[in-house]
Each structure stands twice: as C-alpha cells, then as structure tokens.
Amino acid sequence: MTEQIKTSITGYGLVFKRVMKDTKLNIEAKALYAYLSSYAGSDQSAFPSVELICHELDISKNRFRKYRKQLEDNG
C-alpha cells in the first residue's frame, strides 16, 4: 500500500459501552467502530481513507460499507 498518513502506534480511542452492548450491531460493526474511535480526537492526524481502513482490517470495500451503514442506521 503506497498511501501513508501521519500516525502513531501509541495512543488509544474511547469506545462507548452502549455500542458494545447494542445487540443490533454485530461484531464486525463493533470492530469498525472501535477502529474509527481510535482516530477520533487526534489533532495531528486525519481519518484514514476507506482504502487504508480496508487494508488494515483486511476487509473489502463492500464489507466496509455494509458495516458502516449498520453503524449509521443504529445511530
């Protein structure tokens, strides 16, 4: 993958318990939420592209869109 973003291995993101306890969300949607949460609030890096997310989570763009929609549909 040739795309690079300014990032750090250190740090963490907050994952809300409400999301983890929501039975309408499956484990892949929760994993995507946790991944995205790890980038939230960082003022020195941008959110990664869909391509990078898919690469790092080893999922297809269709799978990414499916679980992003599940998160959006459930607020």
Residue 15: DSSP 8-state: -
Q: Where are the alpha helices (DSSP H) in the chain?
A: 17-21, 27-37, 50-57, 61-73
pTM: 0.78
Please, which pLDDT band fits residue 6 given cuts at 50, 70 and 90? low
Largest CA distance in the chain: 37
- Angle (CA) 2-11-26 rounded to 5° is 80
pLDDT digits over 18-66, tens only? 999 999 999 999 999 999 988 876 565 667 899 999 999 999 999 999 9
